[in-house]
Structure 1
Amino acid sequence: DAIFLIASPTKPLTALAIMMLVETGEVLPSDPVSRYLPDFAANGKSDVTIAHCLTHTSGLPDMVPENQELRRRQAPLTEFLEAVYRLELDFAPGTRVQYQSMGSLVLAEIIHQVFGMQLRDFLRVQIFQPLKMHDTSLGMSPFWESTFRGELHTRRSRIAEVNTTGLDQGDDWGWNSDYWLKLGVPWGGLLASADDWGKLCQHLLRVHVGEHGVVNPATLAAMTTNQLETMPEVPEADRRCQPWGYGWRLNSRNQADSFGDLLSPRAYGHWGATGTMVWIDPARDLFCVALTTQPYSGRRRPHAELSNIICSEIV
């Protein structure tokens, strides 16, 4: 019954939204970001493409330098975006892999400019409502303050608090604050129940076998294929050990500390800093949703153990 702060598995949902616009011909993965966000081109960023943002090869940092300052004063997302516009790249796009949350913020703004809808509303209308994911929202929805199924408590009361003991998390800006829960950051602000995530995973498994869903099978195949293979300047070690589709982290031996040792090479997923993990293995028609409130402490051994147990129990 609990609703969890999902953290980084939000990113594949942001990617799914942008790929829906790829399907309609409104954007191309090869398009420069500056085609839609002219201010982004400042300070040498004109060569960054949508594909770079989807595959963590953009050269953007994970967070803007002002991240904590912006959160402390409860800044809106527009100020985070303005900080991204001011950034210089850490490296030339398409030459390295570096995990970057800010790429998801950029993608969300492209959706806003092209479709005329904020990402939270796009996800609600285009994905969550069709899949009946009623306990899922990017940021706490105003509707969640109303009664739920005739009960007196609200969805807000069902949100499980993240254990922030020992972390630098302010009461008014940390993971459990109303500010953060309502902000709906495109890189980590999704709130969802395990049941809802299961609906999404089951839906994607059906798409893999040919059903047309929120995206078509060809689109999902592109999202779950190693897109680094198309980037010749990315080092071979990165392509092999840090493979990325469009938004999804792909299975490899380097991912065994979370995806475990028994998933097929076709498996993909994501994990989040708040202690969450999801993976989907279309070769075995299998998925896992693990939502906790215990942040990662550097190693993901419990999730690897869980993944192995699930795989060994399913024939």
Structure 2
Amino acid sequence: MFAIDTPQNIGLDPARWQHVLGLVRSWTEADQVPAAGIMILRNGKTTGSHLFGRQTCDADSPPIREDAIFLIASITKPIVGMAALLLVERGEFVLDDRVKNIVPEFGNNGKHGVTIRHLLTHTSGLPDMLPNNTELRTAQAPLSAFVEETCRQPLAFRPGRGVQYQSMGFCMLGEIIRRVTGQSCAEFLQNEIFAPLGMHDTALGAPDDWYAGENPTVNRIAELRIPEAQVGSNWHWNTRYWRQLGAPWGGLLTTPTDLACLAQFLLNRGRGEDEPLLSPATISAATRNQFLAMRDVPELERRSRPWGLGWRLHWPGDSRNFGDFLGPHNYGHWGATGSLLWIDPTWQTAAIMLTTQPQEPRGKYLARFSNAAVASLTAPLGD
């Protein structure tokens, strides 16, 4: 899907690109970031996947594996969103269909008006995390328990009248995909997106066979530095429970190279190696400001904090995660585990940074990487 080439041939200033590599290396050498994998994709070419740091957080850990797999947290969300849009293309539902029409038990406590569009744009009023999130995880609860609890929740505001980042909206999208297709969200993503795009090292939740054999695939997963709130728990990001849960809001495991396959697919306007997987019209809708047509969304959100369908668009005047230099057509997402993906269709460019250092709420190292990466780009072809 993309070729390996020199920085100059793919549209990177060689000296500035070397600065990017040196900057990320310095963070890992200083243990500010235990491990990182970065990749720039331009005009269908890349310099490859560059990995730095250690495979685990231990001081005597071996170096990061060249085939390391990262937990990318909330970058999962727009990918699940694309799976939902694939079902829209197939006529299974429309964005303004109510969630209760597919999941009847959802339609209580003021949620009868919540639509699929609300789930995809963070305008549903659902919570980010459930009030009993910690109790569910401590009990090693299955996804079905998170769905059941989300169905019981009241809303923070009437759907479409506000914006509140909501992981549980994507929990419900995963359940909608399951009920419509008869496949789990993880299975549907594997069959309809990952396999066709050649993303062979990607899974929404590690399957059992990743734990099998003398050299199991799970050994490739880079160990995350656990935030204080998770220390001592039986459900933290490095546990088998969380790695296998397959949370539609944050459970995707992948590599920089696999994520670059997804990015190239988006830059190709929905075309895979052999045939279109999503239409250009779908990609366009997913990556434009949905708030412009949602009359009750507050003006501040409409003007300064836009969302597409699952994708976070560029927020002018906000350095968090994306940095300071992205253009008006950029879109992407970030993850609480220290992960970043952004795409600029105008410059035919995508940037990826996957780390093992949680950086919320500001994405300190992600933003600094993004600024240096953008500064390394030379003018797009034809300019």
- Decide: shared fold, TM above 0.5: yes
Please give the residue correspondences for 1:34-45 in structure 2 after superposition, counting only pairs within 5 Å.
Answer: 34-45=100-111
C-alpha distance in 2 between matches for 1:11 and 1:182: 17
Structure 1 residue 43 displacement after superposition = 1.1
C-alpha distance in 2 between matches for 1:263 and 1:200: 20
Secondary structure of the residue aligned to 1:153 is coil
Structure 1 residue 203 displacement after superposition = 1.4
More displaced 10-residue stretch of structure 1: 136-145 or 114-123: 136-145
The residue type equivalent to 2:263 in the other structure is C
Maintained 8 Å contact 1:97/1:242: no
Structure 1 residue 277 displacement after superposition = 0.7
Matched, 1:31 2:105: no
Matched, 1:184 2:250: no
Structure 1 residue 256 displacement after superposition = 2.7
Once the two structures are superposed, what CA deviation does each residue of 1:185-238 show, in whole Å capped at 9, x if it has no partner? Answer: 000000001110011101110117999632111000000011111111111101
Match for residue 200 of structure 1 among 259, 262, 267? 262
1:97 maps to: 163
More displaced 10-residue stretch of structure 1: 275-284 or 246-255: 246-255
Structure 1 residue 145 displacement after superposition = 2.8
Maintained 8 Å contact 2:314/2:329: yes
C-alpha distance in 2 between matches for 1:224 and 1:299: 23
Once the two structures are superposed, what CA deviation does each residue of 1:65-84 show, in whole Å capped at 9, x if it has no partner? Answer: 11110000101111111101
Structure 1 residue 300 displacement after superposition = 1.9
Q: Identify unmatched segments of 5+ residues in structure 2.
A: 1-66, 379-383
C-alpha distance in 1 between matches for 2:247 and 2:268: 29
Maintained 8 Å contact 1:210/1:217: no
Matched, 1:249 2:315: no
Match for residue 350 of structure 2 among 284, 287, 304? 287
Maintained 8 Å contact 1:277/1:289: yes
Maintained 8 Å contact 2:74/2:335: yes
Maintained 8 Å contact 2:161/2:297: yes
C-alpha distance in 2 between matches for 1:183 and 1:153: 22
Match for residue 121 of structure 1 among 171, 187, 202? 187
Match for residue 214 of structure 1 among 245, 255, 277? 277
2:237 maps to: 175
Q: Which runs of at least 4 in structure 1 moved beyond 3 Å after TM superposition?
A: 208-212
The residue type equivalent to 2:248 in the other structure is P
Scaled by the length of structure 1, what TM-score is found?
A: 0.95
1:234 maps to: 297
1:276 maps to: 339
Secondary structure of the residue aligned to 2:319 is helix
1:304 maps to: 367
C-alpha distance in 2 between matches for 1:88 and 1:190: 28
Match for residue 112 of structure 1 among 168, 172, 178? 178
Maintained 8 Å contact 1:72/1:172: yes
The residue type equivalent to 2:148 in the other structure is E
2:211 maps to: 145
2:325 maps to: 262
Matched, 1:19 2:85: yes
Structure 1 residue 40 displacement after superposition = 0.3
The residue type equivalent to 2:363 in the other structure is R
Q: Report the number of matched residues.
A: 311
The residue type equivalent to 1:246 in the other structure is L
Looking at CA atoms only, which structure, 1 or 2, has the larger radius of gyration?
A: 2
Structure 1 residue 170 displacement after superposition = 3.8
